[in-house]
Amino acid sequence: MKLMTRMARSFVAGETAEEALRQVEKLRQKNILVTLDILGEAVQDRAQSDKAVQDYLDLLDTLAKAKSEAHISLKLTQMGLDIDDEYCFQNMVKIISRAEKAKRFVRIDMEGSALTQRTLDIFYRLKKKFDNMGIVVQAYLHRTEKDVADINKLKAKVRLCKGAYKEPKEVAIKKMKDIRANFTKLAEMLFTQGVYPAIATHDSKLIKWTKEYVAANAIGTDKFEFQFLYGLRNKTQRKLAKEGYQVRAYVPFGTHWLPYFMRRLRERKENVFVVVVNFFK
């Protein structure tokens, strides 16, 4: 358990906002941008969701006092999606409204495929009211090409990742080479038709493809950003930042660090390898 705790803490920035902000400052000194996430998901109780909402409102106030430029990210099941869609929507309005006043960006994370459409439905409703928000899409889902086309029409900001949840073949692409191929196809759609894509990957092949694509198409480094999970590919993050690319670390914190860490390990066997290699590095 002690080893697991040490490994988990390598990828979680602490249990409090104050602890997380100390890590944020270290990242900013290396010219790495930050998105903060308060860990928590699959909430079934309104009192817990209400607390999660207040925690995010408090975090926004803390960031304002600290004069931090950090974005925030959250999951809709933390905001009550498993309880009631309208309740979840109203919780999101509270948070995004506060963030809008602070001129701060909010990213809605994507969860398992059973929640994809409901997540997008709430995102589309929110997008009619707010511009300071974006969404995550997962390249391994068969449906994502259409979703990206629809989101691009709204000129919404998209974070593109491979996807890490265990999904059936009817829903998701299974072979890694095919996932990579779809990732690059979706990335091209975002570069040509979207707004400031976030390329979220630890995959060296996809990072290399992105660098070659933007160079070949004269896309400035201020037109997109690379994104990484906190604690992973640290040298790569610093190298890209030194090369002039926009680099952002997704920094989770909070008391629910163990479920987050264990879920990462359960989702894909590749995650175990990545975590172990980065820990010993």
**Which residues have a catalytic role annotated?**
109, 159
Of the candidates 236, 234, 232, 186, the one whose C-alpha atom is nearest the C-alpha of residue 207 is: 236
C-alpha to C-alpha distance for 250 and 119, rounded to whole angstroms = 20
Distances (CA, A) of 142 to 25, 69, 161, 234: 39, 35, 14, 31
Q: Which two tokens stand for residue 219?
A: 């896309």
State the Cα–Cα distance between residues 20 and 135, nearest whole angstrom. Answer: 23
DSSP state of 114: G
| CA geometry: angle 256, 254, 202, nearest 5 deg | 85
Nearest-CA neighbor of 233 among 261, 275, 197, 199? 275
Per the CB < 8 A criterion, the answer to whether 222 and 196 are in contact is no
Beta bridge partners of 247: 226
Coil, strand or helix at 23: helix
Helices (H) and strands (E) in the chain, counts: 11, 8
Q: Indicate the helix (H) or strand (E) that contains 252.
A: strand 247-253
Q: How far apart are CA 55 and CA 76, in angstroms?
A: 14
Output b/e per residue, 122-148; b: 16+ Cβ within 10 A: bbeebbeeeebbbbbbbbbbeebeebb
The Cα–Cα gap between 107 and 104 comes to: 10
